[in-house]
A and B are shown apart, each in its own frame.
Chain A
Amino acid sequence: MNMVLLSVDGVECRYGSVKILENVSLSVKEGDFVGILGPNGSGKTTLLKSISRTLKPYKGTILLDKTDIYSMKSVDLAKHMAIVPQESNIGFGFAALDIVLMGRNPHMKRFQMESEKDMAIVRKAMNRTNTWYLADRPINELSGGEKQRVVIARALAQEPKVLLLDEPLTHLDMINQLEIMDLVKGLCHTERLIVLTVIHDLNLAARYCNSALLLKDRKVFAVGTLDEVLTSKNIKSVFQVDAIVKKSLVTNSLYVIPLSPQKPSLARKCAIHIICGAGTGTLIMKALVDEGYEVTAGVLNMLDTDYESAELLKIPTVNEAPFSPITEQTKRANLEMINKAAMLVITSVPFGYGNLPNLETSLEAVKRGVRTYVIDEVPIEVRDFTGGKATALMAELRKHGAIFIKHPSELPTLVNATHDLMELRKHAQTEIPGHLKNEPKAITEPTGRKEPR
């Protein structure tokens, strides 16, 4: 069995004396679909250029079937390798069919017109890419997706063994992105092509490629299967982005959820506990983490959306078994956690008998003087499934000084103000006369926010 192999060995590229790619090695066999990943300026396109013979490496070799591609004539290489460029600088006025027929050039003699055989190959390539119906349309009148499919058809008409794509999805909408990737994946499989693509969309890479090369600072950072390469740790080190990587049950491939780029942490040394559930706390947890607070949450049932979010955000939680009511034990654990926090936030979570203990815990905390914010986005009457018990507890909370706000977006500002005032008070403790310290409302409460009783 004769396997076609593309091997990149110790390639270093330079522009003048500046290194733009260092010591890249890679070996790809037929039927492989390799995604070249990495941030802007990491050398992805440079690597593709050196493999496509556009930029001769300063050091290292690129072998296709044991032949150095830089020792081949361009017409011979074109019989084995086709390139789909980033943005096709397309010849004005040529019909789509003309463009695809150009793919036959490396197989034709200088004075030859296209033969029946060439025409058959071109027709097959265009049927394969679903572009035959565009055959006599001028290329400049086609849409981005159609154009890209025509260019892929031209590449196929070259009957290559290697197909290189440089960000083939730029400027394409979702359906076109999926169609192009489906097409390339299919070709890779049926024609046993070696496919290398520079791609920015990690999710599409994870879904279609079967291996990946991750570049960072012009060097290979990781190479291997998607599971090996696409980890949140790698994404964090290469892209400086916190990301959640999970396996989708629908596509059976990894998907990446990028969180905000890492901010210089304000490191507010202050803990905030959140009582939430059913997804009502996710955005709030994320916002408070971003603000630099130490966030805790509970009691949460395992498998609850907010539980999963807390796991992803690495937030400590007090947990209860899935679909189970809160026991005395977890209730106590939760109270202990709240006691360590400077503030308490209660989201607009619906209350039933299962999580009613959370409200009871909250009331205790409020009574002990824990600054408490209740997000009252949905009236409690609507989300009270305890026959009025939760509503009554809410009223108690209000009576004991919990602050009710209408929308979660108001929360960070309030929390920050409270935090700053607390800090102020802590530092000022020695100077402030005793009688002032005993009037916490005057200092700790943001003015005009308290709900009238």
Chain B
Amino acid sequence: MTDKVESKYSKRSSRWKLILLLLIVALVVAIIFCLNIGFAPISFSDILTILGKQIPILNRSINSSAVSTVNETIILQIRLPRVLAGALVGAGLAAAGVMYQGVFRNPMADSYLLGASAGASFGYTLAAIYAGSLALNFFGFGIFQIVAFVGAVLTVFLVYFMSRVGNKVPIATLLLSGIVVNIFILALQTVFELRSGKALIGIVAWIAGGFTNITWTNIYAVFPFVLIGTVLAYFFTKDLNMLAMGDDTAQHLGVNTERVRQIMLLTGSLITGAVVSISGVIGFVGLIIPHMTRLVIGPDHRILLPTSAIVGGIFLMLCDSLARIATGASELPVGVITALAGTPFFIYLLRKRKTIYSL
């Protein structure tokens, strides 16, 4: 039995690579599947032809004469950015969720707990009221995105420095500060909304979250945050494993816990700020996807982080596609779909497990 254990462990690295490979394949399949969804019927072969044409070298051997330019525009300019945005935002939220949960050893921690969503919403509200007409563009971010992003990141930093005691940041203080600041900012936001009396509908719709007005520039702007942030976090996944043993033990195993915490917080809030700025506040993904993934593949962050990111991407992408077609003319907010679709599955996983689940 023990030799079996050892060989299982020595093969673990290749097993993890296989899991990631399969998930990436699933992601690509899901993208193509989602591109097919919409009012204009466009066949899979057309979709593949349009996509293939975009790939250098490969495009030489593809004959695209059968595909109409209208369909090409629908796929490349409307559906693809939206589908990719869903994948990016889902991946970003899930990866940030893994980081926050790992760093805080708290199953309730997610990318919004430290005030990212409240800060972003407040920023967006201020922009909508006072600067709605400003035509600013900064690396693909519009004025709304910039203000939301800054709001999210600033709030997380405010919460972090508020909770600092001497050289350390106690987890309980941090979470409590996060909750309090969340409530405070939401109250401020209500005051501003009521005083201004305008743009309310837009704000409410944005806060509910969604991908209605996604452009390629949004994708270009957010992609580096999600990619670089997740890769950076991957360097610290072993430290996250040891943090699960408690701060003291992690330190005794050679982890610089405070530094790891700062880096993870910074990375997580940058990712969250970036994705929230284009999607609005989408709940559930950052909290539940890491838990779901952990239930299936275990607690090791080295595999948990990348799988959560991909699963989160696929999940949000599919949910958004459902949102597009679910009720016909008027779209359902994607947050409604994520909760409705995700909860039953999560409960199923939770119940299937024999032992008590905790972080």
Q: In the bound complex, how far is the Cα of B253 from the Cα of A118, in angstroms?
A: 15
Q: Residue of B at shortest CB range from A105?
A: B253
Q: Which of B26-34, B240-248, B339-347 contacts A (4 or more CB under 8 A)?
A: B240-248
Q: In the bound complex, how far is the Cα of B286 from the Cα of A37, in angstroms?
A: 48
The interface residues of chain A lying within 8 Å CB-to-CB of B242 are 102, 105
Query: A75: CB under 8 A from chain B?
Result: yes
Q: Which one of A54, A78, A88, A108 lies within 8 Å of B245 (CB-CB)?
A: A88
Q: In the bound complex, how far is the Cα of B246 from the Cα of A254, in angstroms?
A: 37
The interface residues of chain A lying within 8 Å CB-to-CB of B1 are 133
The interface residues of chain A lying within 8 Å CB-to-CB of B8 are 136
Q: Which of A93-101, A367-375, A401-409 contacts B (4 or more CB under 8 A)?
A: A93-101
Q: How far apart are B212's CB and chain A's nearest CB, in angstroms?
A: 39
Q: In the bound complex, how far is the Cα of B254 from the Cα of A53, in angstroms?
A: 11
CB atoms of A93 and B249 under 8 A apart: no
Q: Residue of A at shortest CB range from B10?
A: A119
Size category, A interface: 35 or more
Q: Residue of A at shortest CB range from B13?
A: A113
The interface residues of chain B lying within 8 Å CB-to-CB of A132 are 2
Q: Residue of B at shortest CB range from A106?
A: B254
With known contacts A93-B298, A110-B238, A136-B8, A77–B254 Cβ distance under 8 A: yes
The interface residues of chain B lying within 8 Å CB-to-CB of A76 are 254
Q: Which one of A94, A103, A110, A138 lies within 8 Å of B235 (CB-CB)?
A: A110
With known contacts A74-B256, A123-B6, A133-B2, A94–B251 Cβ distance under 8 A: no
Q: How far apart are B352's CB and chain A's nearest CB, in angstroms?
A: 15
Q: In the bound complex, how far is the Cα of B245 from the Cα of A101, in angstroms?
A: 13
Interface size on B, residues (CB 8 A): 32
Q: Residue of B at shortest CB range from A79?
A: B254
Q: Residue of A at shortest CB range from B249?
A: A85
Q: Residue of A at shortest CB range from B1?
A: A133
Q: In the bound complex, how far is the Cα of B12 from the Cα of A98, in angstroms?
A: 12
Q: Which residues in window 79-126 of A have CB below 8 A to B?
A: 79, 81-83, 85, 88-94, 97-99, 102-103, 105-106, 108, 110-111, 113-114, 116, 119, 123
Q: In the bound complex, how far is the Cα of B355 from the Cα of A75, in angstroms?
A: 35
Q: Which one of A78, A93, A114 lies within 8 Å of B253 (CB-CB)?
A: A78
Q: Which one of B12, B255, B299 lies within 8 Å of A105 (CB-CB)?
A: B255
Q: Which one of B241, B251, B256, B357 lies within 8 Å of A91 (CB-CB)?
A: B241
With known contacts A94-B300, A135-B5, A158–B245 Cβ distance under 8 A: no
The interface residues of chain B lying within 8 Å CB-to-CB of A93 are 294, 298-299
CB atoms of A89 and B249 under 8 A apart: yes
With known contacts A85-B248, A97-B9, A92–B358 Cβ distance under 8 A: yes
Q: In the bound complex, how far is the Cα of B5 from the Cα of A123, in angstroms?
A: 11
Q: Which residues in window 1-38 of B have CB below 8 A to A?
A: 1-2, 5-6, 8-10, 12-13
Query: B252: CB under 8 A from chain A?
Result: yes
17 A-B residue pairs with Cβ-Cβ distance under 8 Å, sorted by A, are A53-B251, A78-B253, A78-B254, A79-B254, A83-B249, A85-B246, A85-B252, A93-B294, A105-B238, A105-B255, A106-B253, A113-B12, A113-B13, A119-B6, A133-B1, A138-B355, A141-B355
A82-B252, A92-B359, A93-B294 given; name 12 further pairs at CB < 8 Å.
A52-B252, A74-B252, A75-B256, A78-B254, A83-B248, A90-B245, A94-B300, A98-B241, A98-B300, A111-B235, A123-B6, A132-B2
Chain B: residues with CB nearer than 8 A to chain A? 1-2, 5-6, 8-10, 12-13, 235, 238, 241-242, 244-246, 248-249, 251-256, 294, 298-300, 355, 357-359
Name the 5 nearest CB pairs between A and B, nearest first: A91-B244, A78-B254, A75-B254, A89-B246, A106-B254
